[in-house]
């Protein structure tokens, strides 16, 4: 391991040692859940390195932290890195020891996505010690609630909109192997509840079976998925539709009066989440012989930045990686009006995220630091 990479690793070790498990997944091993301790630490470090710090309470007790550094031009560069992590109950490795070993940093959040925050802090510290400033104006957003609720990014976008702020370039931090990701699918998640009527199973004609009606809904959704597969692929591929949950019933001798069917629909570029939602509701209502109600769990538009745009091209050249699109979602979807150009970029592999053992290669941290130094004009 190159000794010059060690300060970044040490920054990441510090960050991993601050638990920030999203409250929805917090268990006995999570320590203090939520992002409060992480936000307080980051705010202190940002201020110490000359940043102008602002707090934004997105949810009760859960605040994003924003910091700015003025450069020599009127251009604005921004980094969004979420501060929450997934749960740790499934981890076989110590979740918060932040150990540095074998050229890696270990612990929950090491790759997703405290790695980018460590790179940012190391660069800001170096810039502050040198009495330097970035070439362009710099905005760092440490946002909450990415892993489960996805409220931090749209909350940040609204905050920017209220102030009329539009970034020239925005990088969303996720583990991409330092490969610029210029697009990913959006999604619609719905849950249909079919309403029937109970009766004794010895006299089923006196009831209305919600499960058999729900089964018709599920089969209609499967047919819709098959139809989608016949469409011509877009830049983000082909839309996908999956029935992910189905449950109902009261007992082995009772006609069921309720059945829920939940789905996950992945959107490609050009699809409108609200229009897709309306189409799926109409499809379910037509398929079910019984009345149903709908709960909308999430609607996220697809993210797509042309591969030949300036930001993508420069990041590809600096990283030595060919731009690509991703199968997973990120905060980038929320920033269509907040940035002229945006990409997803970060050190390490998504394969190491959310697992029983989480780690990132220190060389990956150093690689991102080199990319960011060029992007910020520190070289």
17-20: long-range pairs with CB below 8 Å, 24+ = 17/96, 17/97, 17/98, 17/107, 18/96, 19/88, 19/95, 19/96, 19/108, 20/83, 20/84, 20/85, 20/109
DSSP-derived pairing of the beta strands 167-172 and 76-82? parallel
Q: Which residues contact 252 (CB under 8 A, 6 or more apart)?
A: 201
Sign (positive/negative) of CA torsion 311, 315, 321, 326? Answer: negative
Beta bridge partners of residue 135, listed in sequence order: none
* Burial zone of 285 (CB within 10 Å; 0-12 exposed, 13-18 middle, 19+ buried): middle
Ranges of H-type helices in the chain:
6-16, 36-48, 114-129, 152-163, 210-228, 273-287, 310-319, 362-376
Burial 128-141 (b: 16+ CB within 10 A, else e): beeeebbbbbbbbb
Distance CA 277, CA 166 (A): 29
Contact (Cβ atoms closer than 8 angstroms) between residue 21 and residue 108: yes
Tokens of 164: 């009329």
Residue 205: the pLDDT is: 96
The closest alpha carbon to 85, from 113, 115, 106, 58, belongs to 113
Q: Which residues contact 308 (CB under 8 A, 6 or more apart)?
A: none
Domains and CATH numbers, the chain: 3-184+302-376 (3.40.630.10), 186-300 (3.30.70.360)
DSSP 144-195: --TTTT--HHHHHHHHHHHHT--EEEEEE---STTPPEEEE-EEEEEEEEEE
Beta bridge partners of residue 258, listed in sequence order: 195
Residue 4: the pLDDT is: 45
Rounded to a whole number of angstroms, the distance between the first and last alpha carbons of the chain is 23
Q: Which helix (H) or strand (E) holds 349?
A: none
Residue 361: the pLDDT is: 97
DSSP-derived pairing of the beta strands 303-304 and 181-184? antiparallel
Sign (positive/negative) of CA torsion 121, 125, 126, 130? Answer: positive
Q: pTM of the full predicted structure?
A: 0.91
Sign (positive/negative) of CA torsion 130, 131, 137, 139? Answer: positive
The closest alpha carbon to 59, from 32, 88, 84, belongs to 84
Residue 379: the pLDDT is: 65
pLDDT in tens, the chain (379 residues): 344 456 999 999 999 999 999 999 999 999 999 999 999 999 999 999 999 999 999 999 999 999 999 999 999 999 999 999 999 999 999 999 999 999 999 999 999 999 999 999 999 999 999 999 999 999 999 999 999 888 999 999 999 999 999 999 999 999 999 999 999 999 999 999 999 999 999 999 999 999 999 999 999 999 999 999 999 999 999 999 999 999 999 999 999 999 999 999 999 999 999 999 999 999 999 999 999 999 999 999 999 999 999 999 999 999 999 999 998 899 999 999 999 999 999 999 999 999 999 999 999 999 999 999 999 998 6
* Three-class DSSP category at 105: strand
Distance CA 179, CA 5 (A): 20
């Amino acid at each position: 391991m190159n000794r010059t990479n060690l300060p970044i690793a040490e920054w990441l070790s510090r960050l991993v040692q601050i638990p920030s498990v999203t409250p929805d997944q917090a268990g006995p091993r999570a320590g203090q859940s939520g992002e409060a301790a992480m936000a307080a630490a980051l705010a202190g470090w940002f201020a110490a390195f000359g940043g102008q710090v602002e707090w934004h309470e997105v949810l009760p007790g859960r605040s994003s932290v924003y910091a700015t550094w003025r450069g020599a031009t009127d251009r604005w560069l921004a980094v969004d890195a979420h501060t929450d992590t997934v749960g740790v109950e499934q981890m076989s490795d110590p979740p918060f020891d932040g150990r540095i070993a074998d050229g890696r940093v270990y612990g929950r959040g090491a790759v997703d996505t405290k790695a980018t925050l460590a790179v940012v802090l190391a660069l800001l510290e170096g810039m502050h010690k040198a009495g330097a400033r970035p070439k362009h104006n710099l905005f760092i957003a440490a946002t909450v609630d990415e892993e489960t609720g996805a409220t931090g990014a749209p909350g940040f976008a609204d905050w920017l909109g209220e102030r009329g702020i539009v970034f020239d370039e925005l990088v969303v931090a996720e583990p991409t192997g330092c490969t610029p990701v210029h697009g990913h699918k959006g999604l619609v998640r719905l849950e249909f509840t079919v309403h029937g009527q109970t009766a004794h199973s010895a006299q089923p004609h006196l009831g209305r079976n919600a499960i058999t009606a729900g089964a018709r809904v599920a089969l209609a959704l499967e047919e819709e998925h098959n139809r989608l597969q016949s469409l011509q692929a877009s830049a983000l591929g082909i839309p996908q539709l999956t029935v992910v949950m189905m449950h109902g019933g009261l007992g082995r001798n009772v006609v069921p009066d309720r059945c829920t069917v939940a789905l996950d629909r992945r959107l490609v570029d050009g699809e409108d989440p609200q229009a897709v939602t309306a189409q799926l509701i109409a499809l379910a209502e037509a398929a079910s012989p019984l009345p149903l109600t709908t709960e909308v769990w999430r609607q996220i538009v697809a993210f797509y930045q042309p591969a030949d745009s300036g930001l993508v091209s420069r990041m590809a050249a600096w990283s030595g990686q060919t731009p690509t699109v991703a199968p997973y979602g990120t905060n980038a979807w929320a920033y269509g009006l907040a940035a002229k150009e945006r990409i997803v970029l970060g050190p390490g592999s998504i394969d190491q995220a959310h697992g029983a053992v989480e780690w990132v290669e220190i060389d990956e941290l150093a690689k991102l630091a080199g990319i960011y130094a060029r992007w910020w004009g520190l070289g």
